Amino acid sequence: MSRTLTSTPLDDGYRLPAEFEPHRGCWMLWPERGDTWRMGAKPAQAAFAKVAEAIFAFEPVTVGASRRQWENARALLPDAVRVVEISSDDAWMRDVGPTFVINDHGALRGIDWQFNAWGGLVGGIYFPWSQDSLVAAKVLEIERAGRYRAPLVMEGGSFHVDGQGTLITTRECLLNRNRNPHLTREQIEALLKTYLNVHKVVWLDKGVYMDETDGHVDNLCCFVKPGEVLLTWTDDPDDPQYEISRQALAMLSAETDARGRPLIVHKIHQPDPMVISETECEGLDASETAKPRKAGDRLAASYVNFYIANGGIVMPLFDDPHDRTAMDLLNRLFMDRKVVGVRSREILLGGGNIHCITQQVPRRAAHP
């Protein structure tokens, strides 16, 4: 049984490991929402199943599916993937699921952030989100992990850590008036340090252009190892992403991490600009409670939105000329892991990508 703790991870000696540290496994949710996923979510379900299959080659995977979709998910997913019944409002486990933390003995607990569907009634993506708000607690119950209930509206895609005390985030998201308008930047930073047990917060300005999450950092940049980050890039000065990435590069290059090391920045060129097609829009259910998706809308496509598994990288592919270059770069940056690509446009159409639909469960590294 999971219990809600009155202390904090900092009090108890728990920390958030970097994503490139060892995992016990991975959690996902199953898509079904018709106003997010076209054609009754069937193309998205096929893409999610491919992602789960790719990750399972490296570590255990659990997928939460609703009562209505449990049988369908069980039939479409590989037999070795565990499928459990969990209700949710959509399928973004990174943002609605728990952020898992561990201590030096490998004990596992989780942080349950406040969730308001990326902005609540001030620019949020859908309403209601009451089932999403319960997902983290349900996952922690299944994992038999203690629960920290954090007093901060935040999503798991809004930050990255290096496992050695450094966190990267964006002002566009965490300082947005639709998240925590009652808190100052200093108060938010203090809560990040208390709940994630980090020592330094690196603030970037904006996330990827037209990212409907209000600029989640996991679509813009991530740590590939301590002291090194990977940054979404474009060489096209006419692309709105050009100035965003240039500004992020300048800010990262001027920073040091929590241990005083200058940050090394690797650039990964984004795919060519993509938009939603008329056909893709026609396949969506009409809805008055979700953000409308219109033909011609720019999609926030990024190769940074990948999942790091034990011994593997599962990255998005877009049938784009930059796919090969991006995969080659990830192979160089993660020479000890196998890089696997999954065509992920159907996930992108829903508003995110592979990192957004996954959540790692860490374990303590074995010591010789």
Residues facing 274 on adjacent strands: 299
Structure tokens at 125: 């993506």
Q: Name the nearest CA neighbour of 253 among 242, 266, 243.
A: 266
d(CA 67, CA 56) in angstroms, rounded, equals 23
**Active-site residue, 356 included:** yes
d(CA 71, CA 74) in angstroms, rounded, equals 5
Residue 58 burial (C-beta neighbours within 10 Å; 0-12, 13-18, 19+): buried
Q: Name the nearest CA neighbour of 124 among 164, 173, 63.
A: 173
Amino acid making up residue 75:
A
d(CA 252, CA 256) in angstroms, rounded, equals 8
Pairing mode, strands 274-275 and 4-5 = unpaired
Angle among Cα 339, 361, 116 to the nearest 5 degrees reads 105
With contact defined as beta carbons under 8 Å apart, do 295 and 281 qualify?
yes
The active-site residue out of 173, 221, 222, 356 is 356
d(CA 279, CA 277) in angstroms, rounded, equals 5
Q: Name the nearest CA neighbour of 306 among 196, 215, 220, 207.
A: 220
With contact defined as beta carbons under 8 Å apart, do 155 and 213 qualify?
yes
Amino acid making up residue 308:
I
- Provide the annotated active-site residues: 356
